[in-house]
Amino acid sequence: MAHFRLSQCAKLFLWPLFGPWPLLGYGCTMDDTGSYHRLSAELFRAPRKALTPEETAFLKVPNNASARASLEFITSKPHVAGTAGDLEMAEYVKTTFEKVGIAAVLDPQKVLLTYPVSSSLELLDVSGKMVAKASLAEDTLDSDPTTHTWWRNHTFNGYSPSGEVTAPIVYANYGLPEDFAALEEAGVEVKGSIVLMRYGECFRGLKAMNAQKAGALASIIYSDPEEDGYAKGSVYPYGPWRPKSSVQRGSIQFISLCAGDPTRAYSPHGMDVEKLCGFSSKELIPQIPVLPISYGDALVFLESLGGKEAPNNFRGALNITYRFGPTKGHYKVRVKVENRFQSSPVWNVIGTIPGSLPADLDQPVVLGNHRDAWVYGAADPNSGTAQLLEVARGLGQLLRTGWKPLRTIYLCSWSGEEYGLLGSTAWGEVHESILRRALAYVNVDTGVSGPHFRASGTPSLAQLLGDVLGHVQHPESKKPLSEHWSGKLYSLGSGSDYTIFIDHLGIPSLDMAFSPRDAQYGVYHSVYDSFTWMATEGDPDFTYHVAMAQLWGLVSLRLAGTHALQAPLPMNLSIQAEAIEAYIAEIKENITSLDFRRLDEASSTFKAAAAKTMAEAAHLRQMGQKAPHEEVTALNERVGLVERQFLLSEGLPGRKWFRHCLQAPGLYTGYAAKTLPGIYEAIQAKHWDLAQSQILATALRVEAAAAYLAPSSWQSQITAWGEAADSLVASELVGSCRKQKLLFEEQLVAHGRPIQQPHHKYQGREVSAWWRKLSEPFCDLLPSLTLAAANHKPQWNNGCIQAKVGAAKACRGLVMACGPCVTPSLQSQFVSRRAFVQMWQEDLLRISKQELRKEANLQKKRLEELFQKAQDEFRKAVTWRKEARALKGAVDLERDNHEKLQKKIQELVRREKALRQQHAEEKE
């Protein structure tokens, strides 16, 4: 699916200045399609790390002959997801893994798929007579024998429903919301029409979604030559660009709402799509028929349009006058689509190289490429598949020499990606327990479709990428790739298999490719994406395949490490901190109605924590093999897992499956990333209350990341003992308690409860007293809320000071729960730090895992009870407020009645005086 038309999405620039390492920093601008970051501050200038003997040996293995042979076999027949060809290629990949010494298994996942039966598209005159008909077929080429295939006559969009519609046709440009707004402004009626749109600017499924929302009865999508046809250069077979009859197939699932199978049919564990995604299966795919066509077929329908002439931004490269429509002379268009929906298995292949770390300390590295294609997929995705097999060959060669990685490496060949990231999403959801400690996911989709290197990824991996690029030669100049790279690291949106890993699970991810300068190659998703195209136009010598395999392997080796030495991870969190600062500066520009102070403070706190952590990493790295093992372990634990802290427990507003608060695919772009998406989309919709709550929710996540990354130094030293003695149990306990605490705080934010003002009052009543009372027991839990007190709430500090510290168990609870707020006077109660650490270690060794798990369950139950009490107190507060308002209303009413009565009395008194005076006068 890889589609890199992200010209305006978030970018990170790394210029190779001042020696081997780049100069890093940020600056930003924002527009409707994403954010753009320019480096401005120097974050590091370290010498490039020399190649290890294992890395040098690996670089010698990938070769162009082997890559060519692999690609030629894989593209020898169509292998659409769920077909016999797909299964055959899965078996081929599995066998190849096993031949080089990597254990591999087939991982079938049951999903919903669609296949074409028949389709037609006709132009009808007033009488209903057909005057033109689209061929809906791609031409055969004598120079490319694989074009003689059944699939060339069966172009379709995955998940399009069947249907037949006859209606006028209108032209809606790229099908973006603003394009439909332009039609409405021009007085063009979309409701009840067939909408013709061109590919580009956003994911095709969102074009269908926008057309459906506008009331269209059907959609047609064509490839304009401006995008990837003759406007770019010579067309295939005389050049690399899209020929006249070429059709871009593709899924039209609403991928920006939720990735993966829209039915979750693979789940044996009771996964419910509505519970996971917040949408029913029906809401995740179009309910109107959608058909892709070539620009050769589109021409006659575009020429049939009448109405107003379209503006410049609606015009493509065809030699016609682009108009809004509808069709001239009351002509109509008849579109018929017949597709077959069926639940079928798709087959992932999972290769495993076990690491030397024990399971409770392991941080697996996952490599992934999808194998399924719309027809042959020589570029998308099987150039990446050939490269994955070269990486496997290189790693297999190292295994034969006795090498073993420190961390487990998974080599994953996904299926079902083209329909909506089905295989990778299924594996990630079903095996989330395996991935809860995963260090990174490194993806290659369309490995080679042009000569220009580009990458998207998590900012913390930027330094690693910059270093490795300096060790791989450019295929043509033989200079380091770093000298040819533009230096742009795009933010990850969606469109390939990294989506589940970064957007849902919070695992740092990287995606790499060689592509054309415009990042859109000419035969994308067509029958012409064949071995012949690759061998004549894409990468004739297969040298770019070798370069990508070398790059992919080096990144993986550096992340996985070697069993002979445990060193600090090659990740730079200071770059992540700079990125967060840039995201905030970008989004609040020209926004004066929102309060960003809490988020700014959280960003500064995270930046300081990141700087401290990176200084610690530099110190340990300088010590080399003399570095204390437990300190390196503790450091890598924090650095490798901190990305999870950016996940929102309830997900983004309106699309709960996407949980990362810093980046997500744009709601109306699908591919391109939006940074700070919850805030950005609320601002775009002018939902200011939602935007403010998202600012606070994001600030809470950044604060949590800062506290996770850099607890107090003495607490880190003590916690390291716990991680070394029983990391798995400690992680379960801390993770469970932290999740409960963060959920509790997010619920308070959602209900508008004050969490900063300890003396907030309403009508003289101190409504935060219940909060303070509820907070104090947190500090007595064991091991409770490791990071809870890091927010420095005064009432929490009081609870910590009151905690008992006499027994070893209470000491441990104090350290884990209240470290950041323990006073020097409390610390002085312990004879020495060494004795305190010794007490901690002895106590941990004495208590069994079973007892600790029982305690974790008990603390979880207590937290749930406390949370229930909080909810009860909140309901009481709401009741008090209602009663107070009712009482105030009654008092006001009584006051009004009293005033009226007083006036009546005064009037009666006045009248009585007047009568008495009159009576006196009469008597006289």
Residue 38 has pLDDT above 80, yes or no: no
**Residue 274 annotated in active site:** no
Q: Identify which has the larger pLDDT, 760 or 97.
A: 97
The mean pLDDT of 589-608, rounded to a whole number, is: 93
Confidence band, pLDDT 50/70/90 cuts, at residue 640: very high
Q: Give the ranges where 470-596 is alpha helix by DSSP (H).
A: 499, 531-533, 543-560, 573-588
185 lies in some domain:
yes
pLDDT higher than threshold 80 for residue 158: yes
Residue 555 and residue 418 in one domain? yes
- Supply the pLDDT for residue 777: 38
What pLDDT, on the 0 to 100 scale, is given for residue 155? 97
| Alpha-helical runs (H) found in 217-323 | 225-228, 273-277, 295-303
Residue 616 has pLDDT above 90, yes or no: yes
Mean per-residue pLDDT of the chain: 83
pLDDT at 488 over 90: no
Q: Which of 361, 390, 352, 558 is nearest to 461 (CA)?
A: 558
Residues 189 and 287 grouped into a single domain: yes
What pLDDT does residue 203 have? 93
Q: What strands lie across the sheet with 218-222, from one edge to the other? A: 169-171, 194-198, 218-222, 290-293
- Please report, rounded to a whole number, the percentage of residues in the chain having pLDDT higher than 70: 78
Q: Is 108 helix (H, G, I), strand (E, B) or coil?
A: strand
Indicate whether 588 belongs to any domain. Answer: no
- pLDDT for position 919: 82
Task: Give the strand pairing for 488-490 and 11-13.
Answer: antiparallel
Residue 750: per-residue pLDDT: 54
The predicted-structure confidence for 128-141, as pLDDT tens digits, reads as follows 999 999 999 999 99
DSSP string, 756-794: S-TT-EETTEETTHHHHHHHGGGGGSTT--TTGGGG--H
Q: Are 423 and 109 in contact (CB under 8 A)?
A: yes
Task: Say yes or no: 349 and 494 in one domain.
Answer: yes
- The closest of 609, 578, 631 to 463, measured between CA atoms, is 578
Q: Indicate whether 74 and 121 sit together in one domain.
A: no
Cβ–Cβ under 8 Å, residues 563 and 407: no
Last residue of a domain, one of 292, 310, 341: 341
**pLDDT of 744 strictly over 70:** no
Q: Are the beta carbons of 713 and 73 closer than 8 angstroms?
A: no
Catalytic residue among 417, 418, 578, 681: 417
Write out the residue range of the structural domain in which residue 716 sits. Answer: 712-878
Q: Residue 1: inside a domain, yes or no?
A: no
Q: Exposed e or buried b for every residue in 597-616, given b needs 16+ CB within 10 A?
A: ebbbebbebbbebbebbbeb
Rounded CA gap, 256 and 284, in Å? Answer: 9
Q: What is the pLDDT of residue 870?
A: 76
Could you tell me the pLDDT band of residue 811, with boundaries at 50, 70 and 90? very low
Please tell me the predicted confidence (pLDDT) of residue 913: 84
Exposure string over 216-250, b if 16+ CB within 10 A, otherwise e:
bbbbbbbbbbbbbbbebeebbbeebbbbebbbbbb
Per the structure block, which two tokens stand in for 525?
């998703």
Return the pLDDT at 852: 58
**Residue 650: how many CB atoms within 10 A of its CB?**
13
CB burial string 576-589: b at 16+ within 10 A, e below: bbbbbbbbbbbbbe
What pLDDT was estimated at residue 573?
Answer: 96
- Spatial separation of the C-alpha atoms in residues 675 and 673, rounded to whole Å: 6
Domain stop point among 315, 341, 367: 341
Residue whose entry in the numeric block shows the structure tokens 């057309």: 211
Average pLDDT over residues 74-92: 98
At residue 893, the pLDDT reads 82
Give residue for tokens 């940074």. Answer: 675
The pLDDT, as a whole number, for residue 711 is 67
Specify the pLDDT at position 877: 77
In angstroms, rounded to a whole number, what is the distance separating the alpha carbons of residues 774 and 795?
Answer: 10
Residues 709, 714, 718, CA angle at the centre, nearest 5°?
85
The backbone torsions φ and ψ at residue 182, rounded to the nearest 5 degrees and listed phi first, read -65, -40
pLDDT tens figures, 564-590? 678 999 999 999 999 999 999 999 987
Write the CATH number for 161: 3.50.30.30
Beta-bridged to residue 23, according to DSSP, are 15
- Alpha helices by DSSP H, 284-380: 295-303
- The answer to whether residue 569 is domain-embedded is no
Residue 304 lies in a domain: yes
Same domain, 785 and 738: yes
Tell me, what's the pLDDT at 915? 85
Q: Are residues 386 and 511 in the same domain?
A: yes
What distance separates the 2 farthest-apart alpha carbons in the chain?
A: 137
C-alpha atoms less than 13 angstroms from C-alpha of 621 in its C-beta half-sphere: 14
- pLDDT tens string 453-480: 999 999 999 999 999 999 999 999 999 9
3-state class (DSSP) for residue 904: helix
Q: Is residue 646 a part of any domain in this protein?
A: no
Instruction: Indicate whether 313 pLDDT > 90.
Output: yes
Partnered with residue 665 across adjacent β-strands are 673
Integer Cα distance of 630 and 717 in angstroms:
9
Output the pLDDT for position 513: 97
pLDDT at 837: 44
Q: Is 772 in the same domain as 816?
A: yes
Residue 397 and residue 312 share a domain: no
Under the banding of pLDDT at 50, 70 and 90, the label for residue 855 is low
CA 41 to chain centre: 27
The pLDDT of residue 33 is above 60: no
747 and 841 fall within a common domain: yes
Predicted local confidence at residue 730, as pLDDT:
40
- pLDDT exceeds cutoff 90 at 504: yes
Q: Phi and psi for 838 in degrees, rounded to 5?
A: -60, -40
Measured CA angle at 436 (ends 841, 553), to 5 deg: 105
**Does the residue 906 lie in any domain?**
no
Indicate the pairing of strand 169-171 with strand 218-222: unpaired
Q: How many CB atoms lie within 10 A of CB 139?
A: 15
Distance separating alpha carbons of residues 705 and 790, to the nearest angstrom: 11
Q: The dihedral of CA 648, 652, 655, 660: what is its sign? A: negative
* CB distance 393 to 552 below 8 Å: no
pLDDT in tens, 338-358: 999 999 999 999 999 999 999
Contact between 246 and 526 under an 8 Å Cβ cutoff? The reply is yes
Report pLDDT for 611: 96
Domain CATH for 67: 3.40.630.10
Contact in structure between 314 and 171 (CB atoms under 8 Å) = yes
The pLDDT, as a whole number, for residue 909 is 85
Whether residue 409 contacts residue 353, with contact meaning beta carbons closer than 8 Å, is answered with yes
What percent helix, strand, coil does the chain show, rounded to 5?
45, 15, 35
Helical (H) or strand (E) element with 353:
strand 332-353
What is the Cα–Cα distance from 10 to 680, expressed in whole angstroms?
A: 13
Mean pLDDT of 709-719: 52
Confidence check: pLDDT of 29 > 80:
no
DSSP secondary structure, 506-542, as one string: ---EEEEEEE-TTS--TTTTSTT-SHHHIIIII-TT-
Tell me which of 175-179, 742-746, 840-844 is least confident: 840-844
- Bigger pLDDT: 781 vs 370: 370
- Shared domain for 244 and 370, answered yes or no, is no
Worst-scoring range by mean pLDDT, 147-156, 511-520, 829-838? 829-838
Same domain, 313 and 399: no
Where residue 108 falls among pLDDT bands split at 50, 70, 90? very high
Do both 803 and 792 map to the same domain? yes
Number of domains in the chain: 3
pTM of the model: 0.77
Pairing status of strand 488-490 against strand 452-457: parallel
Is 900 part of a structural domain of the chain?
no
Residue 612 has pLDDT above 90, yes or no: yes
Closest CA to 730 of 659, 660, 630: 630
Predicted local distance difference test score (pLDDT) of residue 853: 62
Q: What is the 3-state secondary structure (H, E, C) of 624-669?
A: HHHCCHHHHHHHHHHHHHHHHHHECCCCECCECCCCECCEEECCCC
The helix or strand, by DSSP H or E, that contains position 682, with its residue range, turns out to be helix 677-684
The answer, yes or no, to whether residue 393 has pLDDT greater than 70, is yes
Residue with tokens 């008194």: 909
Domain endpoint, select from 559, 586, 611: 559
Find the mean pLDDT for residues 95-112.
97
Which pLDDT belongs to residue 130? 97
